[in-house]
Structure 1
Amino acid sequence: MSASVIVPVILSGGSGTRLWPMSRPEMPKQLLPLTADETMLQLTAQRADGPGYDAPIVVASARHAEMVEDQLAAVGATPQALVLEPMGRNTAPAIALAALAAPLPDAPLLVMPSDHVIADVDAFRTAIDAALPMVEEGWLVTFGIAPDAPETGYGWIRIGDEIAAGVHRVNRFIEKPPLDRAQAMLDEGSHAWNGGIFLFRADRYLEVLEREVPAMVAAARESMAKAKREGTRIWPDADAFAASPSDSIDYAVMEKASRVAVVPVAMGWSDVGSWDALHAISERDAAGNAHDADRVLAIDTTGCLVRSDGIRVSLVGVSDLIVVASGNDVLILPRGRSQEVKKLIEAMKEKG
């Protein structure tokens, strides 16, 4: 395999509790068919398949190993390595494990969360093609999502000078902004959302991480050296990995490295971070409702998202609600407040 063959790295360790009650720690959102017949994990794998792409490295929770393997096999995307984290330590250590599992030290790694939506895969691949020459020269590249709203729930990127066709230097990363700052950045037009998708060589990532957070790389190396291996499954040593600091790739690497670039791209991206976000990207009927016609009956109802994986749900004379039924749990709340699901999760934890 030449160094220019891209190795997809799929991060599938999240618990997805913001989409409760359908998404739960034992069956998080990336393993659910929320936006298509395929699950979000399957769709992610299919985006980086074919000529120029190697088999993926998947980083997941050990409790999901069999489900991940079965879902990927069903779409012909058998991973070359399934790295099973003994515990969550955020994205920077997870990617370090993947970099150490890469088939070549300088392999380009395409790091993708497993629970995002990308409607325009051709645009995504065009952006990857633009980034790859810079990556081979040692640049760390992120993909900047063309913003269409003053979003306060995402980090933003200020786009700097163009250094190659379609590739710009990152001027700076901006934390989740207040609404007035987000609106100003949207109006200015020289900013993008930080979508959390990256392309860089494995050795360059480890080099920067080792310089900035040496304890993290040391823990990752020791955990992989002591790992249990069975076929494509890798169980990093739990005691060694537990010693790793917990931090995101943004804080640990991207905000500190010197050669960081961004490829701005409009590709129909969403992180599906809430039921409101799912309503926004779902097909809706003439009354603005997004629902499964087989399990939902809506009369004189407008602007609602209704999902059920079992029981039939009927609505009459209501507007702008989110109604989700899964197993023995039913969630009902106004549209626009679905981020408050986290309050329910916290309350349930307090009650045991």
Structure 2
Amino acid sequence: MSFLQDKIFKLKGKVQHYAWGGFSYIPSWLGEENKDNKPYAEYWMGAHPSAPSEIQTPNGTLSLDVLIKDYPEEFIGEKVQKQFGELPYLFKILDVHEMLSIQVHPTKEEAEKGFAAEETVGVPLNAPNRNYKDKNHKPEVMVALSEFWLLHGFKPKDELMITLKTIAEFAELEELFLEKSYKGLYQHVMELPQDKVDEILRPLVEKELKRKASGDLSKDEPGWWVCKLFDGKEDSISSIDRGVFSIYFFNIVKAEQGEAVFQGAGIPHAYLEGQNVELMANSDNVLRGGLTPKHVDVPELLKHTTFQGIDPHLMKGKDTNGEKVYNCPVPDFGISKIELSGDQTYSGKASSLEIIVVIDGELTVAGANSVEAKKGEALAILQGESYTISTGSRVLAYKAFVP
């Protein structure tokens, strides 16, 4: 195909209007008006079959997933095609306005088993009670574009003990935790009958709402997020989502702009608020445990959760040849930050298909051909292409690649 003499292309992603998204960050970044006041939650860049990106070529606009199927060697390269059979990552921009569900992602082996089991019993792929949409694992990394808040893993043992000791409503849980550790504690609260959940949590929610009203809460406290959950619903505190327990049991993490958090299989987590760049394996497998109207499968969640306390690790990125690389312990993807000003340049060679998204400023990528991109735009660089990035003024961009 004649257009393949070019190796660098503009890439147009797809917006996902999930209910938890914000209304201004992504439209403003894309330079669009949000006339209908829709939530703009995610902007997807990749070849996921449910929302593939489009590549702008001299032959017109073509779908990235089709191009990879038709020209795997040219687009992703022989090695990646052999190992993964597809572009193994999905790149996103997120604007988290409302809290996301408590979730865990399975390992690759468990995803393959779960997918096969649901196929065998004939659960339709688009059924709301389907857990496994594909056979892949879904490790993910996020880099904060603003101050970003999330829940990430269980608190270390001594911190969780303090939580259970100091919150009167959790008094009966302290002994259970000492006797049966993380799994016993979490399984207990996740399997409680709803009336018992309400009995424990209602007085606690009411107490937190009073603290918020008198200005006694800050974002590093569980009560802040509990109040956010009940914002505008203060008069109907019933059928309380058992995900509230997780807000107290998990680490509350604040990532500053440019800091990253990696979430491997089994680590329970939930995004709370802010904007980020997210990169994940090309999968849609999510096991949910609350804070959501979507399907929650407690037994499946418990089966795949890592029950241990962790100290969250915030990655600052490692300076390597003019980019900051955030090292992730998976073969599916890598992510780096490219920040240039004035006459600075960056040179690279695409090990597989690379996607570069411009967060702010503008850049020119020059190789076999030359393409300019500004804030809100993205570029795809084909496997094997050597290229140089320059800017007329300044640029902040993130690059997704296969290590």
TM-score, normalised relative to structure 2: 0.27
Q: Which is helix-richer, 1 or 2?
A: 1
Give the TM-score normalised by structure 1.
0.29
Structure with bigger RCO (C-alpha 8 Å, 6+ apart): 2
Find the structure with the greater CA-based Rg. 2
